[in-house]
Amino acid sequence: MPALSSVLFPEPTLARSPRAVIGWWERRRPLFNAVVGATGLVTLSLLGLATGAGIFMQPGLWLGVTAYGIAANVCYSAGAPLELLLERWLGRQTYGLGPALFRYGLVYSVGLTLFPLGLGAFAAVAKLLFHVLH
């Protein structure tokens, strides 16, 4: 559990310069990409098991995976500017804002990456109920 808490509750940067804040975010980008990427692999693997290996031959799948990875990193890149902007707007130092934005962004990204599994499970249950009731 200590490893999970160190990921979800990272220490904020005490230096509040733009360079320090951006550096804090960029040091965590590989972790973010690894967690979201691993979640994506789990999602793709389970969808492949459920639908068959033919899903991996569709070029649209890989285009979507690539676009999703780029979009996740574009959204991640908004973290540091948002933290700096809010700090300026509030007129005070916001030490805990970066870790909170990171935590919620990571949890949201993992949930969004797992969403197709939930959607697939819902479709499977709906299909089963349709066949049972008709």
How many domains does one find in the chain?
1
How far is 17 from 43, CA to CA, in rounded Å? Answer: 38
Question: Which residue range forms the structural domain that includes residue 129?
Answer: 15-133
pTM confidence score: 0.83
Residue 38 included in any domain: yes
Residue 4 included in any domain: no
Handedness of CA 98, 104, 106, 108 (dihedral sign): negative
Is the Cβ–Cβ distance between 97 and 87 less than 8 Å?
yes
Residue 6 included in any domain: no
Is the Cβ–Cβ distance between 8 and 32 less than 8 Å?
no
Question: Which residue stretches of 10-96 are H helix?
Answer: 18-51, 59-77, 79-90
Is the Cβ–Cβ distance between 11 and 99 less than 8 Å?
yes
Residue 3 included in any domain: no
19-49 per-position pLDDT tens digit: 999 999 999 999 999 999 999 999 999 888 8
The pLDDT score that the predictor gives to residue 131 is: 86
